[in-house]
């Protein structure tokens, strides 16, 4: 039995104060990831600060026509929220591709951002893992690495970020609103998660005294032409081998704006400005989509068991872009583009 303290935060300022006061304290929201990690002895927080009753459970319109999503909005409420379903269906689709209905009822928006990798060595405390125990080594690099990264990995860590929701948020140019002792700030979602480099123990750029309070969505929702395609071993209750959030906007017959984010391939949701730029001004053709996929994957590297992900990602990108272009987000792409 490992002892820990438990307290409730009265408000956001109190949550920040409690976190700063006790090194080793952690917030708990839905608990669907943190409690598992505690049971497996991966995380040993000295104190759990319960933030689940803080008033961060609303979805509100912002002055610029976007949305502000409270950090404690449950994943299921968010996916079925009328404004998300209507204006940001790519986000609803990504959330519903994750976990199970029961888990989505418990899981919070903030907790989803901060869930930890599903690398099995990270959970297995008898094996070396630089993320769990810096300097101990990486068991996955030369071990069972079928689920692991093909982009942005380092010698120290080849883990992937497991969230589906974050992949759609990356495509939408979302912002993460946080509060700490020195006040509030907003971090672009693409800068929120980190690549492993030499510090794989740090998943994000959230400060040690900061709490996530909200996610900001800009007005552009790509509701007409989008697709979230998740390729996994089972149709439900499995993490992505590769996932693709593809969103397009057209001007006449030409692509005016393109967004492409990948999940399951790196330590963070992966976007590539060059690949997206290659699509702007082009017609929606298989050739254009294949070129963008090749550009996005130009630096991809396979390990012993996951090299198949490179071709899988290439095909998934082309299919997701095709589905987005046709306005049939969940189809099997029976209809063909040129």
Ligand X SMILES: Cc1cc2nc3c(=O)[nH]c(=O)nc-3n(C[C@H](O)[C@H](O)[C@H](O)COP(=O)(O)OP(=O)(O)OC[C@H]3O[C@@H](n4cnc5c(N)ncnc54)[C@H](O)[C@@H]3O)c2cc1C
Residues in touch with ligand X (CB under 6 A): 26-34, 36, 51, 71, 75, 98-99, 103, 106-108, 110-112, 114-115, 162-165, 211-212, 239
Choose the contact partner of 200 out of ligand SF4, ligand X, none; CB within 5 to 8 A by kind.
ligand SF4
Q: Which residues contact 108 (CB under 8 A, 6 or more apart)?
A: 29, 30, 52, 71, 72, 73, 74, 75
Could you say which residues in the range 276-305 bind ligand SF4, by CB under 6 A? Answer: none
Q: How far is the CB of 268 from ligand SF4 (least distance, A)?
A: 13
**Strand (E) or helix (H) holding 286:** helix 286-296
Please give the size of the binding site for ligand SF4, defined by CB under 6 A. Answer: 14
Choose the contact partner of 71 out of ligand SF4, ligand X, none; CB within 5 to 8 A by kind.
ligand X
Q: How far apart are CA 303 and CA 242, in angstroms?
A: 15
Contact letters for ligand SF4, residues 191-210 (x by CB under 6 A): ---------x----------
Q: How far is the CB of 28 from ligand SF4 (least distance, A)?
A: 22
Q: How far apart are CA 187 and CA 175, in angstroms?
A: 6
Could you say which residues in the range 70-129 bind ligand SF4, by CB under 6 A? Answer: 117, 119, 121-122, 129
Q: Which residue, 275 or 313, has its beta carbon nearer to ligand X? A: 313
Q: What is 166-211 written as a DSSP string?
A: HHHHHHTT-EEEEEETTEEEEEEHHHHB---TT-TT--B---TT-E
Q: How far is the CB of 136 from ligand SF4 (least distance, A)?
A: 8
Q: Which residue, 98 or 162, has its beta carbon nearer to ligand SF4? A: 162
Residue from 28, 158, 241, 288 touching ligand SF4 (CB under 6 A): that is 158
Query: Quick one: CA dihedral 14, 20, 22, 26, positive or negative?
Result: positive
* DSSP structure class, residue 129: B
Q: Which residue, 107 or 147, has its beta carbon nearer to ligand X? A: 107
* Beta bridge mates, 177: 186, 214
> Helix, strand or coil for residue 138?
strand
Choose the contact partner of 255 out of ligand X, ligand SF4, none; CB within 5 to 8 A by kind.
none
Q: How far apart are CA 137 and CA 153, in angstroms?
A: 14
Q: How far apart are CA 325 and CA 328, in angstroms?
A: 8
* Total count of residues recorded for the chain: 338
Q: Does 27 bind ligand SF4 (CB under 6 A)?
A: no
Q: CA-based diameter of the chain, in Å?
A: 64
Q: How far is the CB of 287 from ligand SF4 (least distance, A)?
A: 36
Q: How far is the CB of 44 from ligand SF4 (least distance, A)?
A: 17
Measured CA to CA in angstroms, residue 43 lies from 126, 133, 137, 326 at distances of: 14, 11, 18, 45
Q: Contact at 8 Å (CB) between 189 and 169?
A: yes
Choose the contact partner of 226 out of ligand X, ligand SF4, none; CB within 5 to 8 A by kind.
none
Stretch that binds ligand SF4, among 33-41, 89-97, 134-142, 164-172 (CB under 6 A): 134-142
Q: Does 151 bind ligand SF4 (CB under 6 A)?
A: no
Choose the contact partner of 98 out of ligand X, ligand SF4, none; CB within 5 to 8 A by kind.
ligand X
Q: Does 265 bind ligand SF4 (CB under 6 A)?
A: no
Choose the contact partner of 119 out of ligand SF4, ligand X, none; CB within 5 to 8 A by kind.
ligand SF4
Q: Contact at 8 Å (CB) between 272 and 297?
A: no
Q: Which residues of the shown chain bind ligand SF4 in the complex (CB under 6 A)?
A: 117, 119, 121-122, 129-131, 138-140, 157-159, 200
């Amino acid at each position: 039995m490992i002892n820990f303290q438990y307290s409730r935060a009265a408000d956001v300022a109190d949550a920040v104060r409690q976190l700063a006061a006790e090194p080793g304290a952690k917030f708990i929201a839905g608990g669907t990831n943190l409690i598992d990690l505690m049971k497996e002895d991966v995380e040993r927080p000295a104190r759990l600060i319960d933030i689940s009753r803080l008033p961060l459970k609303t979805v509100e319109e912002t002055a610029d026509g976007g949305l502000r999503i409270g950090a404690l909005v449950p994943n299921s409420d968010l996916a079925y929220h009328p404004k998300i379903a209507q204006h940001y269906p790519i986000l609803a689709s990504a959330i519903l591709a994750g976990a199970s209905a029961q888990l989505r009822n418990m899981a919070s928006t903030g907790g989803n951002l901060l869930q930890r990798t599903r690398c099995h060595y990270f959970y297995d405390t008898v094996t070396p893992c630089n993320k769990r125990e810096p300097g101990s080594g990486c068991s996955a690099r030369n071990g069972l690495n079928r689920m692991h990264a093909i982009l942005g990995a380092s010698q120290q860590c080849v883990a992937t970020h497991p969230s589906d929701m974050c992949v759609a948020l990356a495509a939408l140019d979302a912002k993460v609103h946080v509060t700490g002792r020195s006040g509030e700030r907003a971090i672009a979602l693409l800068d929120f998660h980190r690549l492993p480099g030499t510090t794989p123990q740090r998943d994000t750029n959230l400060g040690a005294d900061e709490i996530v309070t909200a996610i900001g969505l800009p007005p552009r929702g790509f509701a007409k032409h989008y697709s979230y395609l998740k390729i996994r071993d089972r149709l439900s209750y499995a993490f992505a081998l590769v996932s693709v959030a593809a969103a397009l906007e057209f001007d006449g017959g030409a692509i005016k704006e393109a967004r492409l984010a990948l999940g399951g391939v790196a330590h963070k949701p992966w976007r590539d400005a060059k690949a997206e730029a290659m699509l702007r001004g082009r017609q929606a053709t298989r050739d254009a989509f294949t070129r963008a996929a090749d550009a996005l994957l130009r630096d991809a590297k396979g390990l012993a068991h996951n090299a198949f992900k490179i071709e899988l990602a290439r095909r998934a990108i082309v299919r997701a872009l095709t589905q987005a272009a046709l306005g049939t987000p969940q189809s099997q792409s029976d209809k063909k583009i040129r």
